[in-house]
Structure 1
Amino acid sequence: MSNRPQSTTDTTASVESSAATSSDTVAAKARKTLIPLLFIYMLGTLCLQAFNLVFQQVGSDVGAAGQASLITAVPGVVLGIVCFVYGSLCDFASLKRMTMFGLVLLWTGSILGFILHGSLLEIIIFRAIQTAGFQAAGSVYLVIVARYLHAGKKLLYFGMFTAAYQLATAIGVVCGGVFSAIDWSYLFLIPMASLIVVPMLLADLPHTTGRATHVDVPGFIIFALAVLQLTLFFSDLYWPLLAGAIATFVVFAVYIKRARDPFITPEFFRNTRWWKAVALMFLFYFTNFSITPLFNALGANVYGMTSAQVSLVLLPALIIATISGTSSGAIVGRLGRRTTITLGASLMFLGSLSAALCVLAGPVALTACIALFYGGMAMLYSPTVDTVLGTLPAEQSGRGVGMNDLAMQGAGSIGIAIFGTPIATNSLAGGNPVTNLIGASGAASNYTNLLLVYAAVMAVSIIWFRVNSRAIYGDSTADNGK
């Protein structure tokens, strides 16, 4: 048996082999956490959509019907902000610690929300804490898919993420309807089911990610404060909030220009292709948070339906949206991004316009109309996100994902803040050629007019996209972005 010293080459090869084995082990264990993480994300989304359905009832029960839309709007802003923060942190922080931190927030918001829900402020605070908690699992899921899965598997698990969101939305609407007839405070406890997956996450989540980097805490705080003030302004048009939002955005602009290492630089916002593309996400999802409460209020005030009955009427449309979302990748592969985006936006336009004309036609007709709307919205997500990220260099993709999520969630939050009042108070009731044509009056005319506004938003979205698509995609000959 030879006792010769091991050569440098042998030693290097051994170290590399050991590192590769260790990396493979981490990747294999990380993949085991995908379903548990997705389960947590679904519980949080389910809770979000359940409260979205019944926020009017919740607001009325605590004596704050006029500001009830903030129950959806403020957590929506929080969701957009933490999407950006978590995405940045995943570059260097421990995925295990981040997930467990999120779970602690989720459980804290759930328990305290169930115990303390006597005022609108308490409900908003604990819903925001819940929202900030569950999104950690969603962000870590996406990072693990991107970092540890092969290309073929990535498409499968990104598709599962989209399907999970749509399915959780469908179940959440049903839960909102059911619990509204019992006691809506029990909705706070739904995310506590996440306790069952903690052992798997503790055993298999990666503890470290590699490099360390700077976290621009002041930048995040200034930006978040500006967005929050802007959303609150749209809730009740309190003008000092708008002045505060503008002033804070100015402070943010000065900060990122002078800071040594800001989380985002002024050059990012000078990318014309990017802001034109991200405007699409804002326009497409402007009505996202308000469409479900609109139909809930319509069912109650026009047809005398309970929230539970409305949720069952909406369920087929949400199942169609689940199918549309999971099929969007195949649709893009066949039609290309431009055509798929145009098709999805057109379905949303037709859905809202036809619903406006069918307000008095009965719940079944409205279900068919809303299925067009939900199906089109689900179809839009993948090609629009791909379009937005395609306007950015690879080194800015993380910030691009975060800003995209913020635009989507922020748009929905501002939308519900604007539309929440007319949904609850019938302030848009009144006659016009369309309402006179279909014979709508009172509450029916209010919802007809709201749906016409939604159709107008989608018409503007389609026109914006068609006018700017050449600039967004960078040339006039791209084959639909395939």
Structure 2
Amino acid sequence: MDEQNEPNIPHPKRLLVSLCAVLMLSVMNGTMFNIAVPDIAKTYQLMPSEVSWVMTGYIMVYAVGALTYGKLADYYPFRTLITFGLTIFAVGSLFGFFAQNYGMVLVARVIQAVGGAMIPALVFLAPIRYFPKTRGKVLGIVSSVMAFASGIGPIAGGFIAGFLDWRYLFLTSAMIIITLPFLRRNLPQEEVNKGYIDYIGAVFIAGFISTLLLGITLGISWIFALTVLFFGLNLWRMRSIKEPFIPPHLFKNGKYRSTIITSFLSITCLFGMMFMLPIMFRDSYHLGTMAIGLVLFPGAISAALMGQKGGSLVDSKGNTFVLYLAMTLLAVGFFLLSMIVGANQFVVSATIIVAYMSFPLVQASSADILANLLEKNETGVGMGVFNLLNFVSGAISGAVIGKTLDLFNPSQPFNWLGFNGDTSVYSNIFLGFSLIILLSMTQFYLFYNKKEISYKRPVSQQ
């Protein structure tokens, strides 16, 4: 990377390394605790519904925070937000390490989420703001780090919890604070931009997202009534003031809307695969935690290797070309998995690579498309919506797949090329993923190139 080509940054390479390091530790923090949930339940004698709050509470606050930090990034310097976020995250991690009861563990996870939500929001905005000439390449690197960390997180979590204790996961997460001096040293000095922030709208959005995630993850139907209420309040707020928290004209832009939908459906299927594979290898292949991690490791490595190449393709071939390539790989990969599950575990491991390597391609190309569509003063909130939907997609895919695995146990797959037996349900889900990707690609093709109807942007409130 040519350090002379990027504006306002004394050392671009050092900044990129610092951003990747903090993202790696942040993503690993989330996936490591998936492994620790049974140990936490055993420590405090908890029911599954009770211990699930370790993840539910974290995801809920994290999703709302990712959008909020994105909005704040339009007005406040990155240095300020990163200092606040990492400090709060480290405090929450240390609080969790010394927790004496389950209530303190939950409080620690919420504090972690309040600070940690800053990381993906700003890490995905940094390439747009600080690396405009090599944006695609940098987004590819960032996306590959995120995919790789998602893959090795369970391995690291199993190792730490197995050889030490699950509390040391908190202590490991606290190490993220060591990246703060490097980030502050390499981020440029920026001033606060004056602007109006709709805090009432932010509360309504937080209520909508929180109740939606609670309803999905806990399976409580009456909570969705509150979701509908908050959704209505959001619509009213967006139409009643000049500068709402999320500008409604973002969703009137067909290209923005179709890109968001495509990314959401793709990431839903990818997160669904990541959620489902450990369950499949445990129940159908009878593998232990470490063995599962090793079987999934080649996919994580492939994502890391593909990210930088995919980012360069975004710059050289164009973001839509890379998105179509990623969607094609995903559709093919999921269809192959629908054929292969039930075969030898190493054959499945090799096949996973085809789908897994698409993770950074989808994120890098989608983020680059959105960056081109957004006005400079709306980049933060526009990318915040992108990050928000990524986290919501994880909650939705986990809840839907979990319920599907509970209710269905076919002996034969829909894919006549697949294996009969207890892996049939996984074959059917992968086939469904493949069809969702094809539908997503079709809607992107139809609506992204559709002629736009002009609209008038709201006048800024002074």
The normalised TM-score by structure 1 is 0.80
Q: Is the 8 A contact 1:77 1:227 kept in 2?
A: yes
Q: 1:45 to 1:341 in 2, by over 3 A?
A: same
- Measured after TM superposition, the shift of residue 142 of structure 1 is 5.2
In structure 2, what is the Cα distance between the partners aligned to 1:391 and 1:57?
A: 46
Q: 1:378 to 1:319 in 2, by over 3 A?
A: same
Q: Is the 8 A contact 1:31 1:148 kept in 2?
A: no
Q: 1:335 to 1:26 in 2, by over 3 A?
A: closer
User: Where does residue 331 of structure 1 map in the other structure?
Assistant: 313
User: Where does residue 464 of structure 1 map in the other structure?
Assistant: 443
User: Where does residue 13 of structure 1 map in the other structure?
Assistant: none
Q: 1:159 to 1:112 in 2, by over 3 A?
A: same
Establish whether residue 163 from structure 1 lines up as the match of residue 144 from structure 2: yes
User: Where does residue 92 of structure 1 map in the other structure?
Assistant: 75
After superposition, give the CA deviation of every residue in 1:194-239 in whole Å (9 maximum; x if it has no partner).
2334444565655652422222222112102101211221224322
After superposition, give the CA deviation of every residue in 1:3-42 in whole Å (9 maximum; x if it has no partner).
xxxxxxxxxxxxxxxxxxxxx9974289855533432222
In structure 2, what is the Cα distance between the partners aligned to 1:26 and 1:130?
A: 31
In structure 1, what is the Cα distance between the partners aligned to 2:296 and 2:108?
A: 27
The count of residues paired between Structure 1 and Structure 2 equals 446
Q: Is the 8 A contact 1:70 1:417 kept in 2?
A: no
Q: 1:404 to 1:429 in 2, by over 3 A?
A: same
Q: Is the 8 A contact 1:74 1:128 kept in 2?
A: yes
User: Where does residue 103 of structure 1 map in the other structure?
Assistant: 86
Q: 1:293 to 1:410 in 2, by over 3 A?
A: closer
User: Where does residue 18 of structure 1 map in the other structure?
Assistant: none
Matches within 5 A, 1:49-128: 49-52=31-34, 63-65=46-48, 71-72=54-55, 74-116=57-99, 119=102, 125-128=107-110
After superposition, give the CA deviation of every residue in 1:376-395 in whole Å (9 maximum; x if it has no partner).
22222222223334444454
User: Where does residue 179 of structure 1 map in the other structure?
Assistant: 160
Matches within 5 A, 1:49-448: 49-52=31-34, 63-65=46-48, 71-72=54-55, 74-116=57-99, 119=102, 125-141=107-123, 145-148=127-130, 151-152=132-133, 154=135, 157-182=138-163, 183-201=165-183, 208-333=190-315, 335-423=317-405, 426-434=406-414, 438-442=418-422, 444-448=423-427
List runs of 5+ in structure 2 lacking aligned partners. 1-5, 454-462
- Measured after TM superposition, the shift of residue 309 of structure 1 is 0.9
Q: Is the 8 A contact 2:415 2:427 kept in 1?
A: yes
Percent identity (aligned) = 21
Q: 1:344 to 1:208 in 2, by over 3 A?
A: closer
- What amino acid is aligned across from residue 97 of structure 1 in structure 2? T
In structure 2, what is the Cα distance between the partners aligned to 1:160 and 1:399?
A: 22
- SS of the residue corresponding to residue 222 of structure 2 reads helix
- Measured after TM superposition, the shift of residue 173 of structure 1 is 3.1
- Measured after TM superposition, the shift of residue 284 of structure 1 is 0.8
* Runs of 4+ with deviation above 6 angstroms: none
- What amino acid is aligned across from residue 451 of structure 1 in structure 2? F
Q: 1:234 to 1:247 in 2, by over 3 A?
A: same
Q: Is the 8 A contact 2:269 2:397 kept in 1?
A: yes
Q: Is the 8 A contact 1:109 1:127 kept in 2?
A: yes
- SS of the residue corresponding to residue 259 of structure 2 reads helix
- SS of the residue corresponding to residue 434 of structure 1 reads coil
In structure 2, what is the Cα distance between the partners aligned to 1:223 and 1:207?
A: 31
Q: Is the 8 A contact 1:74 1:413 kept in 2?
A: no
In structure 1, what is the Cα distance between the partners aligned to 2:100 and 2:343?
A: 38
In structure 2, what is the Cα distance between the partners aligned to 1:372 and 1:128?
A: 35
Aligned CA RMSD, in angstroms, stands at: 3.3
In structure 1, what is the Cα distance between the partners aligned to 2:418 and 2:130?
A: 56
Q: Tell me which moved more, 302-311 or 337-346.
A: 337-346
Q: Tell me which moved more, 156-165 or 185-194.
A: 156-165
- What amino acid is aligned across from residue 174 of structure 1 in structure 2? I
Q: 1:459 to 1:125 in 2, by over 3 A?
A: farther
The normalised TM-score by structure 2 is 0.84
- SS of the residue corresponding to residue 409 of structure 2 reads coil
Q: Is the 8 A contact 1:180 1:307 kept in 2?
A: no
Bigger Rg over Cα: 1
- Measured after TM superposition, the shift of residue 46 of structure 1 is 1.3
In structure 2, what is the Cα distance between the partners aligned to 1:429 and 1:133?
A: 41
Q: Is the 8 A contact 2:326 2:361 kept in 1?
A: yes
List runs of 5+ in structure 1 lacking aligned partners. 1-23, 475-482
- What amino acid is aligned across from residue 454 of structure 1 in structure 2? F
Q: Is the 8 A contact 2:299 2:353 kept in 1?
A: yes
Q: 1:325 to 1:59 in 2, by over 3 A?
A: farther
In structure 1, what is the Cα distance between the partners aligned to 2:144 and 2:294?
A: 19
- Measured after TM superposition, the shift of residue 318 of structure 1 is 0.9
